[in-house]
Structure formats: C-alpha cells, structure tokens
A and B are shown apart, each in its own frame.
Chain A
Amino acid sequence: MESLFIEATEATPKINLNSDTGIFLLAERSLPENAFEFYQPILKWLNEYAEEPKEETIVNFKLDYFTTSSAKQIIKIFLSLEELNNTSKVSINWYYKKEDVDMYAIGLKYSKLVNLNLQLKEF
C-alpha cells in the first residue's frame, strides 16, 4: 500500500505514515476547523495498514499543540493502534519539549489511558 504524507499547515499537523518502514509521524500543531474530517483519512489508512502490517510499527508523536477536538481523534488513533498491536509490535514515542509541562502531562495521561507501549521522550 502507498504511504500517506500530509504537509503541515498553520492549522494542521504534518502526517507521515510510511508503509515501507512501519514508522509513523504526527508532528507540529493540530487545530483544524474540522478535526473529525481531517483525521478520517488517517484512521482509514491505519485500518488498511492493519490488514498487512510490518512486523514492528513505531509511532512518533511530536506535537506542539492540539485542540480538544483533535484530542478525540488522536484517541481514536490510539484505539486503532491497540487493535494493530495484535498483529504488529506497536511502540509509541511521545515527544515533548523540555519546558513543555503540558505536553509531558498529556503523554503521561495517555500512557495510562491506553493499553500500549508508550515512551515519553524529550526533544
């Protein structure tokens, strides 16, 4: 299957889902007018990837900021990754900037809320 790449804008994150390497990236900031719509193709892509995944999947979150409506979509990504974890070894790196207490706290919260191997990493 084809990889999915979406360039960042001032309101939407950079998305790089590489089906060849099984390494995914969500970066920068996410405040789209319509988060539900923006994340639809990403969720759909993940479903298709799960049919024939790499042995290992690494998901890097390097987000500066995201809205609550994006948070809900990100949770849906996590749930989809939980599913994927049955067929591919999924690990998640949640990156935060050193001084960014907020992004660290969110990562910590998510590590408790979802049943996945989630590492907090400074960048």
Chain B
Amino acid sequence: MNSVILRGAARILVPLQLAGALGLLVRGHNDPGGGFIAGLVAAGAFTLLALAEGVAAAQRWLRVAPGTLTGVGLLLALGSGLPALVLGRPYLSGLWSGEWAGGVRLGTPLIFDAGVFLVVLGVGVSIVFALMEE
C-alpha cells in the first residue's frame, strides 16, 4: 500500500499512539487504561506503520522480533510473582513501596502489568506482521 497521505498521517500518528499507549500503561492502576489496553494501542500503532511503510520498515522500528517481546513479557509477568515467594507469601502477592511525594507508589503489580503490555503487543504485532508479510 503506497499512499502519501497514509504515510504522512502515520508519521504524526504513530508517535502519538505510542506515547498514548505508554500513558495508558502508566495511569492504568488508578484510571481507565492498563497493560492490556496499552498493548492493544501500541500494536495498533505498529500495524498502522506496517500498513504505511511496509512490514520491513515497521520491523526495523520495533528493533526486536515480536516473539521476543512476547517472551520477555511472559518472563516479566512470571518473575513479578517471585519476590513474594522469597518473602514467604503466596506467589504473585502484590508488594508495594511506601508512599512517595505526590502519592506515588511502586509495586510488583506494575511489573506484572508491563509484562501483560509486552505480551499483548508482541502477540498482536506478530500476527499482523505474519499476515502482511505473505
């Protein structure tokens, strides 16, 4: 698909989409969003890129193979449950830091959410790429 309009739009839209995805991921714990939704938005961004510039260009942009993203995501999610085990609590119990300035806390569920994000992104992108590459 070689369309100047699409390519021009993609150049503006894709960075916005990716930024939005990251925003959704970060704010997901308190407001609508989260890893799953963010992953879908990011997958949509790369799909648009692949439609506009071709799979090879989108793949270059992504840098790593989609399968790697999926694997890393799964490992992150699996690993985020381990610290609880070390402390003798059930697997995947959420562990949280104390409250910092502005009410921000960090915890293992956020790592888990990042894992979900990467899995959804990897799965979406790998299927789209595989379909378009043919």
Q: Do A and B come from one complex?
A: no
Binding site for B on A (CB under 8 A): none
Binding site for A on B (CB under 8 A): none
